[in-house]
Amino acid sequence: MIIRPVALSDLAALQQIAVESGPGFTSLVDDRDFLTQKIRHSMDSFNRHTGTPGDEGYLFVLEDPETGEIMGTTGIEASVGIRRPLYHYHRSQVVHHSPELNLLRRLEVLNMCNHYTGCSEICTLFLRPRFRRAHAGKLLSRVRFLFMAQHPQRFAETVIAEMRGISDEGGQSPFWDWLRTHFVDLDFSTVTRMVGTGDNGFIADLMPRHPLYTHLMDENARAVIGQVHPQTRPALAMLEAEGFRHNGYVDLFDAGPTVEARLADIRSVSTSVGCRIQIVDDVRPTLEEWNRGGQGRLLAITNTETANFRATVTSAARYLPAHNLLQVPAALAKSLHLRNDGEVRFMELAAAQSGAATTAIPLHQQQEAIHAHR
């Protein structure tokens, strides 16, 4: 498996991913012109020399090098809410209190806001169902952090991820069904398609600006606020293990949670290692070598390029900390465009830690199709 920047030759595969991902996956829509524009924008972003985050959007694809098939995609937006507003609802409480009548009541409300303007966003994570295999979902998720760790000047201090909320197989969202009944008479698939293609002017025109009291909603709508789609739970578990937390901000349309973390505090960023490369003969690590703490650890490895970025996962590499040197076999070095004595960045693909505890993600969840962040 190799991860690389998206190219125009990936258009057909990207369009198929847009179909397979279904309603609610707003960062990819089944529109050839839109996807072509998205690919071109990504190519321009990778080729741009910049020292501050702007309107860059980086889209990666996971490729099977033996067949050339595109297995999935993942992306990063350098700075959201700049070209067009990024809206959320903030979930909080208000207190109604009358000392004279000795009455007090706490009520939950949703307030529309633009809290995350200027933040970086990890997004567009989708692993195609027929390519479920060990470590594919992990690599799609973690590779973005390795790219950000190598090029921190391109990204904001705060990183967010909008998690896909609850919707059924027919693309119906209980939360949006309630909003549609009372405010915006558009179906969920139409709304998500409009937002995905950048047509979100209707939000300012039609969406309620005043606080929404959740106790006035029907039970189905209220129950899904802050909840994630069942197929998104593995992705959320991985992000929580990286240090992402939900602070009460939810999506306007399906009420899925948005999680956030400081870039420097993301586990895969802070624990990744930049070092030199030594190209060696091919090796086949053994379990005994793994247990000795040497060759055989499962690593996610990237080169340090932008437009020529490459990444993969391998156990055929060995880190020599005393020399800050990573030994890799020649075939692997070639696939990652690495040269002897060049630079590389890597991290271990072990169970991620949250604080002092280790959060183990079951293997069957790691292998599930990832319907992750919009």
Give the catalytic positions in this structure: 229
The C-alpha atoms of residue 129 and residue 339 are separated, in whole angstroms, by: 35
CA dihedral 193, 197, 201, 207 (to 10 degrees): 30
What span, in angstroms and rounded, lies between the C-alpha atoms of 227 and 100?
39
Produce one character per residue of 245-276: b if its CB has 16 or more CB atoms within 10 Å, e if not: ebebbbbbbbbbbbbbbebeebbbbeebeebe
The two three-digit tokens of residue 25, written as one number: 């996956």
Query: Which pair of tokens denotes residue 233?
Result: 């739970």
How buried is residue 47: exposed, middle or buried, by Cβ count under 10 Å (0-12/13-18/19+)? exposed
| DSSP string covering 243-275 | T-EEEEEE-TTT--EEEEEEGGG-HHHHS-EEE
Residue 44 · residue 78 · CB < 8 Å: no
Tokens 């057909």 locate to 12
How far apart are the C-alpha atoms of 169 and 321, rounded to whole Å? 50
Query: Hey, what amino acid is at 234?
Result: P
DSSP 8-state assignment for residue 342: -
Identify whether the C-beta of residue 310 lies closer than 8 Å to the C-beta of residue 143: no
Contact 161, 142 (CB under 8 A): no
Which element (helix H / strand E) includes 104? strand 103-113
CB atoms within 10 A of CB 116: 21
Any idea of the CA torsion for 137, 143, 149, 150, to the nearest 10 degrees? 170
Structure tokens at 178: 């309630």
Closest CA to 238 of 347, 360, 153, 73: 360
Query: Looking up tokens 């998720």, which residue turns up?
Result: 141
